[in-house]
Amino acid sequence: MKKILLIALAFSGLFAVAQDEMETKTKSEVTFKRWAVDLSAGVHKPTRPFTRGYVSTPDLWQANLGARYMFTRSFGLGLGVGYNSIQSDDDITNEFESDYLRVSLEGFVNLGNFVNLDRSTQKFNIMGHGGIGVGFLNTDIQTETDHHLNFMVGITPQYRITNNLAIFTDLTIIGTTRNHFGWDGGTLPEVGFDRDGALTQENRGFEGMLINASVGLTLYLGKGNEPAEFDIDPVDSKLAALEDEVATLVRENADDDKDGVPNYRDRDNTTESGVRVDQQGRAIDTNKNGIPDDMESTLDARYASKGDLASLKQPLDGRNGVSEKGLIKKLINEGYVNVYFKFNSTKPTLYSMDAMNTLVTYMKNNPSATATLTGYADELGNPDYNKNLSERRAKMVYDVLIASGVAANRLSHNGDGEDASVDKNSAEARQLVRRVTFRVN
């Protein structure tokens, strides 16, 4: 027994010295609360040893009080005392009542750090603990106190309520050695016989086992803002900040509309590919008419003059009897000539320039003709919004045609909202209905 007490005192002395040294070295560097007081109570299950005829099922009461000091966010030491009231079942004749008092020195490990719980949440954590101690068993059968050397290991899920308070559950397994009495107070045999009948040595090895399940509260003390086990390591904080900065740089330096201007400088992130832009990503519009110069120049370069067409025009197609003028009108009115748009955009795609060229050419070669422009949207989104979007698309094409030289009194425009004639779940089908159609008279 003296050896056990000397070991306990030695560990206590080492703990006190280490505590003083750590406080001296880190007093000016404290960023988290190092001290914690744990108070818990719950049920227990003594499993062995019992003498013949005695048994105990899981029952109240057991209680624990401990104080710990965290040297780092991951490791600490603590001293604790515990009490177990062990009683026999009510339905057996061999009744007993025992009291078991424990004193222990334990190491604490922040298991949450190993699975990055401190990064994913600052409310939930898991601690592990284990250590050595001494126990004192008093029973109503024996007049002497049985002294044990015990070892324990446990796991403690925690939930932080405030920076000063947390609730926890705990499961601890305690193993005892040097048992003279069972939990019931019965005297254990000093000698025994093996299977061959040979005399064995003392039956007082690693004999006892006790399981505690508890619920409790932790009170955090000391300087700092966060409890040690919930505090985020400054290195992790810096890494997280760097990751956020890198993600921001990647996002801002991306070029969604592929115009050569990164997003963080782009004031118009929806310009069509191939359209020249200024340093702020805005399409160049020298005459300020709302139509990018490249769209206007493309129209000017692609449509033929009336004189050019006159030299190429054939009077009739002998096979179908339709004039060139009639064929173009037929193609336009039957929906073969359309202007297309990207999702939620009012800017015509670059490949739609041919469609507008066709109408511009037809209108300039047929001065008495008029045209109606009708805009459409796909079915994604709010119907009222899509109605307005279809009208704005028609108005955009209307403006382009006027900028190309078609008189405004020869054009009209409207929006018919959503076109539900295709499968809305198909991206390719939706692209076909985001359009402006023409009707010439």
For residues 147-163, average pLDDT? 94
Residue 438 clears pLDDT 90, i.e. is over it: yes
| Contact assessment for residue 123 and residue 160, using Cβ atoms and an 8 Å cutoff | yes
Top CATH class, 285-440: alpha beta
Residue 402 clears pLDDT 70, i.e. is over it: yes
Residue 84 clears pLDDT 90, i.e. is over it: yes
The band of 61, judged by pLDDT with boundaries at 50, 70 and 90, is confident
Q: Which residue has the higher pLDDT, 432 or 57?
A: 432
Specify the DSSP element, H or E, that contains 220: strand 206-221
For Cα atoms 307, 312, 317, give the angle at the middle one, nearest 5 degrees.
130
**Percent of the chain predicted with pLDDT > 70:** 74
Distance of CA 326 to the CA centre of its chain: 62
Residue 309 clears pLDDT 70, i.e. is over it: no
The pLDDT value recorded for residue 276 is: 78
pLDDT tens-place string over residues 187-208 = 877 645 444 555 454 445 567 8
Cα Rg for the chain, rounded, in angstroms? 43
Between 148-162, 240-254, 265-279, 324-338, the lowest mean confidence (pLDDT) is in 265-279
What distance in Å separates the CA atoms of residue 82 and residue 136, rounded to the nearest whole number?
10
Residue 2 clears pLDDT 50, i.e. is over it: no
What distance in Å separates the CA atoms of residue 59 and residue 210, rounded to the nearest whole number?
12
Q: How far apart are the first and last CA of the chain?
A: 113
The pLDDT value recorded for residue 384 is: 94
Domain with CATH 3.30.1330.60 in the chain: 285-440
165-177 vs 146-160, strand pairing mode: antiparallel
The band of 294, judged by pLDDT with boundaries at 50, 70 and 90, is low
What distance in Å separates the CA atoms of residue 126 and residue 156, rounded to the nearest whole number?
6
> Quick check: helix, strand or coil at residue 240?
helix
Q: Which residue has the higher pLDDT, 259 or 163?
A: 163
The fold adopted by the segment(s) 2-231 is Porin (2.40.160)
What distance in Å separates the CA atoms of residue 53 and residue 67, rounded to the nearest whole number?
39
The band of 92, judged by pLDDT with boundaries at 50, 70 and 90, is low
Q: Which residue has the higher pLDDT, 402 or 326?
A: 402
Q: Which residue has the higher pLDDT, 190 or 350?
A: 350
Mean pLDDT of the chain: 80
Domain with CATH 2.40.160.20 in the chain: 2-231
CA quadruple 351, 352, 354, 356: dihedral, nearest 10: -160
Between 2-16, 123-137, 162-176, 312-326, the lowest mean confidence (pLDDT) is in 2-16
The pLDDT value recorded for residue 340 is: 93
Residue 321 clears pLDDT 50, i.e. is over it: no
Q: Which residue has the higher pLDDT, 152 or 97?
A: 152
For residues 137-160, average pLDDT? 92
Q: Which residue has the higher pLDDT, 110 or 322?
A: 110
Between 142-146, 194-198, 395-399, the lowest mean confidence (pLDDT) is in 194-198
What distance in Å separates the CA atoms of residue 138 and residue 221, rounded to the nearest whole number?
35
| Contact assessment for residue 139 and residue 201, using Cβ atoms and an 8 Å cutoff | no
